[in-house]
Amino acid sequence: MTIEKTASNAAERPSLPAKVKERLYPAVLDLFSQNDFHQVNLREIYRRSGISPSTIYKYFPSKEALLFAILDEKITEVGRLAEIHIKGIESTREILRKIFWVTLDFYDQNPGVAITAFITVPMRTWMREQSYIREDATKMFEEVCEHGRKRGEIDPSIRPRDVMDLYFMFCYRQIHMWFFQGMKWKLSDTLPTFYPMFWKIVSAEGAPLPGRTD
């Protein structure tokens, strides 16, 4: 079954003023990180933020559009931070480790984003949005894998999307268990427990994966 992506209407709407964003975004993330998706409505967002429903509708056609715009902006920030932190690093192992660290450290500092994106949001709904497709992450992992192949550090049978899938899989698992156990530890502190396993899978030192036809 093919899921159709909803075209973004952001270009057709006025840009959100910084003063509105400063009040609206924290309130939305706070509500969605503390409640199930369908329990949050625009009335609650208005009560928490003080931004009237008419003002919200001026910039966003629905609570879903509002939430996905916030998540897209926040997750894009993770990619930008990763690019800054890996600049100048040659070791592919260290580049990938740093990408994981930046990601988990960002969610440590922004737990509302972590809970909303990985726990609250219904995936079927988000998959209909263009923001679900992380083209920035795809590009980053393609570049990292190309770098790793040239240095002989990445298994040549590993595709960039395999590395990206593993990245999201490990991040999802760490965030899910952190949330389930009451957020008693820092997400970034879990890196030493799983990163050696991740690197063993993708590195040229590990056993090559079976050949693929695609």
pLDDT per residue over 18-53, tens digit each? 888 899 999 999 999 999 988 988 888 999 999 888
Lowest-confidence pick of 99-103, 121-125, 152-156, 209-213: 209-213
List all residues 6 or more positions away from 150 whose beta carbon is below 8 Å from its beta carbon: none
Average pLDDT over residues 89-109: 96
Sort 13 into a burial class: Cβ within 10 Å, 0-12 / 13-18 / 19+. middle
Quick one: pLDDT band at residue 1, thresholds 50, 70, 90? very low
CA dist 168 and 163 (Å) reads 9
User: What structural domains and CATH numbers belong to the chain?
Assistant: 15-202 (1.10.357.10)
Quick one: pLDDT band at residue 214, thresholds 50, 70, 90? very low
Whether residue 159 has pLDDT greater than 50: yes
CA dist 176 and 193 (Å) reads 15
> Which is more confident, 104 or 41?
104
Contact (Cβ atoms closer than 8 angstroms) between residue 202 and residue 162: yes
| Among candidate residues 162, 153, 190, the one with its CA nearest the CA of residue 174 | 190
Q: How far is CA 99 from CA 93, 195, 203, in A?
A: 10, 11, 16
CA dist 8 and 130 (Å) reads 7
